[in-house]
Chain A
Amino acid sequence: MDAKVNRKKLGLKEKYKLLTRDLGWEPSYHAKEKIFPYATYEGIKIHDWDKWEDPFRLTMDSYWKYQAEKERKFYAIIDAHAQNNGHLNLTDARYLSALKIFLQAISPGEYAASKGFARVGREFPGVGTQVACQMQAIDEIRHAQTQIHAMSNYNRFYNGFHAFAQQRDRIWYTSVARSFFDDAMSAGPFEFMIAIGFSFEYVLTNLLFVPFMSGAAYNGDMATVTFGFSAQSDEARHMTLGLECIKFMLEQDPANLPIIQSWIDKWFWRGFRLLGLVGTMMDYMLPKRVMSWREAWDIYGVANGTALFKDLARYGIRPPKSWDDAEAGIDHMSHQFMLGFYQWSFGTCFHSWIPSDEDMAWLAEKYPKSFNQYYLPRWQHIKKLAEAGTPFKNFGVAKLCQTCQLPTVFTEPDEASLLCHREGDYKGEKYHYCSDHCKEIFDNEPEKYIQSWLPLPQLFQAPNFGDIGAWMAWVDLKDGIDNGDYVGSQDEANFQAWRGLATSNSNAQAQGEQ
């Protein structure tokens, strides 16, 4: 028998070098430009890819080990949640509307981010960047999967979760998130990094995840909280990658600055528009509220953003030019969205509702500058219409912004009683926008945005030609079940009946069907 040789274990530094930098071979029979054809056309100049620093020094073998451990814990808790009827611990089934929007619009975005990072990992010539992007690509696909698994338990009991994959492509409000990621994925690799890696992951992600996960915790949704914990360490890595990437690009060549600044201007605004959906969830959809969207913005937007852009000022970067308009919109956007969701709820695969008097008192307190003056009178009128048996449905479907694809529900930055209309012509066609900033994004690359697949103009084209019933079948929306007001819905009836069975001795039978 051979004697066992004691091999010296590799040191961390040595292992890191072997598993990353040493993979960066010098090509001998192909030109480097041919192997990495997408590295230069955006105008970003990189002189030395070795200057790229990997802040985490994580290698693939440790990555697998670490993630597998997290996955084991995650699925153990998800199983326990399912076996113990965890859905009955929710504060109220209204909360599920927030989850339905998340599943239909945001989880597919994680999948899109995975595809995007896999692609740019191939397109960047630097090996440090390639490895970091590869890990993030795997993270993002795990996030899509674990979110879907975490929410699948609710799909057994409640309506509206069943067709998220199809609805991602077909229903109207999901195109906001889809177009955001499509825009990034059809850009070059450097713009993709500023779009997703920096603007979304670094500047805006805290506004998405922190309020969302606290909202889940406050409202008894242990499945989503568990996902949040599992994703948290990945998010820290993603944020660092985004920040590292922008600093690297700025340090490589002074000519990169104006290009990067224009991407920051663009992607901050696109991200800000998308996150308005989170504001609506925080202000209207959580039965037990965490904080208002205004408060979240003051903490995670203003305080963090100010510090970040102060830090980047030494490279010549200034805050996004839409910053002031964003700030002006904060007191209005969640109300504008919820009023829209309510009046178009015949076409949403989630429920909305009229806020209660108590809700409205809270909104008035949190939005002293806007709620009582602008939004309370509308809600009161809508309430009157519902009480009269003629609930408000707006069949004049919305005009969409050609760039961000949101319904143009926003008012002028300096006049909250007037809708903001912007239009333009390009090659003989008319286009409409929600804001000056979305118009400017369009005007910079019109050939890209004229191709936007806008779901509401599409409603009147093939295959549905304006037939709402046919459209509902096409988007797999069951009229009277998945859509409309929460009050009187099957979700409401089932939740109350099951919760009654779980918490009392009543023999009341579940009224709805499973």
Chain B
Amino acid sequence: MAVVAMKPYVGVPRDVVANFNGMQLVYASWDHHLLFASSLMMCLPPQMKFREFVEGPLTVLLQPDPDAGKIEWNKVQWLKSDQAFTPDFEASLKDNGIVHKALLRFKTPGLNSLLKQGA
């Protein structure tokens, strides 16, 4: 049973994409870069190109990290919902299959200024 109840019971999800005025949520997380305490939440238009997303809101949010300037975006390894993912930088978020509340993780091997050696 999907909930312990006395009779059939159906819940209403609170964060469906229809509530966001044409926008959607995207989460991004930079692996092994914990200056950012949690994944970064952004509210973006699904038509936004992946390149605009990376060079715009994502780059702005990453600034405080000492490694931010050293990211080579063409070498970054991406994960979408834990699966390896090769984004098309010229296509939109939507056409890249980035749905509402999707989590994008990215790895930059070799960059980890704020981790002590041996970590």
Contact = CB atoms under 8 A, between A and B. Distances in A.
Given A429-B16, A451-B13, A394 B2 contact: no
B101 A466 contact: no
B31 A418 contact: yes
B114 A407 contact: no
A187 B3 CA distance: 10
Interface string A369-390: 0001110111001100100001
Given A378-B34, A396-B36, A423-B81, 13 more contacts: A372-B116, A392-B35, A396-B28, A398-B39, A407-B37, A408-B38, A417-B119, A419-B29, A421-B29, A430-B100, A432-B39, A451-B11, A457-B41
Interface in A343-402: 343-344, 372-374, 376-378, 381-382, 385, 390, 392, 394-399
A340 interface: yes
Contact of B103 (A38, A385, A390, A399): A399
B109 interface: no
A427 B10 CA distance: 11
Interface of B: 2-6, 9-16, 19-21, 23, 25, 27-29, 31-32, 34-43, 61, 64, 66, 81-82, 99-103, 105, 112, 114-116, 118-119
Contacts of B5: 41
| Interface-centre pick from B3, B9, B15, B41 (highest chain A CB count, 10 A) | B15
Contact of B38 (A191, A419, A457): A419
A377 B37 contact: no
Contact of A417 (B9, B15, B34, B42): B34
A191 B3 CA distance: 13
Nearest to B38: A398
Contact of A446 (B2, B40, B82): B2
B80 to A, nearest CB: 11
A446 B3 contact: yes
Contacts of A392: 35, 64
Nearest to A466: B43
B97 to A, nearest CB: 12
A374 B36 CA distance: 13
Nearest to B42: A396
Given A41-B6, A446-B2, A458-B14, A377 B114 contact: yes
Nearest to B36: A394
B4 A41 contact: yes
B3 A460 contact: no
A421 B105 contact: yes
Contact of A381 (B4, B19, B114): B114
Contacts of A429: 13, 15-16, 101
B61 A394 contact: yes
A432 B35 contact: no
Given A378-B114, A417-B32, A423-B82, A409 B101 contact: no
Contacts, number: 153
B37 A374 contact: no
Interface string A449-461: 1111110111011
Contacts of A446: 2-3, 11
A42 interface: yes
A423 B40 CA distance: 15
Nearest to A384: B66
Given A42-B4, A417-B115, A421-B105, A450 B14 contact: yes
Nearest to B21: A465
A261 interface: no
B101 A432 contact: yes
A445 interface: yes
Contacts of A419: 29, 31, 34, 38-39
A421 B116 contact: no
| Interface-centre pick from B3, B5, B21, B81 (highest chain A CB count, 10 A) | B3
B90 to A, nearest CB: 24
Contact of A373 (B4, B64, B118): B118
| Interface-centre pick from B81, B100, B114 (highest chain A CB count, 10 A) | B114
A409 B38 contact: yes
A460 B20 contact: yes
B47 to A, nearest CB: 17
Contacts of A453: 14
Contacts of A462: 19
5 contacts: A377-B115, A378-B35, A460-B23, A465-B21, A466-B43
Contact of B14 (A336, A427, A430, A452): A452
A373 B116 CA distance: 6
Nearest to B16: A429
B11 A447 contact: yes
B36 A461 contact: no
| Interface-centre pick from B16, B29, B37, B112 (highest chain A CB count, 10 A) | B37
Nearest to B25: A457
Nearest to A401: B38
Contacts of A38: 6
A21 interface: no
Nearest to A396: B40
B16 A394 contact: no
B111 to A, nearest CB: 13
3 nearest interchain CB pairs?
Answer: A396-B40, A340-B37, A398-B38
A340 B38 contact: yes
